[in-house]
Amino acid sequence: MDVTVTTQAELDTALRDHGNDPAAVIIINSPAGVWLALPSSGSATVQAYGSATVRASGSATVRASGSATVRASGSATVQASGSATVRAYGSATVW
């Protein structure tokens, strides 16, 4: 099941409803400059597309493509492709 979100409220709802479902894919497609934050708890996996901007922490996993921007900290993992921009802090992993 794919769930596409563009706002923080939609992301929070999607994480609450589908965050523990391994078959669910949460797709972030927010407008440029609108930062969405993944919580530091949990282990959600999301995909960021287009001009989406995401802050990831804890054990979140983000797949970023297009012109997406991700700031990762804690033990977050980011897979980047295309023109994606990633800033990693702490023990965050980028590949």
pLDDT on residue 43: 67
Q: Which residues of the chain have pLDDT under 70?
A: 40-43
Beta strands in the chain (DSSP E): 2-5, 25-28, 35-37, 45-48, 53-56, 61-64, 69-72, 77-80, 85-88, 93-94
pTM of the model: 0.77
Our separate counts of H helices and E strands in the chain read 1, 10
Q: What is the pLDDT of residues 77-93, one digit of tens each?
A: 888 888 888 888 888 88
Give the separation between CA 60 and CA 41, rounded to whole angstroms: 8
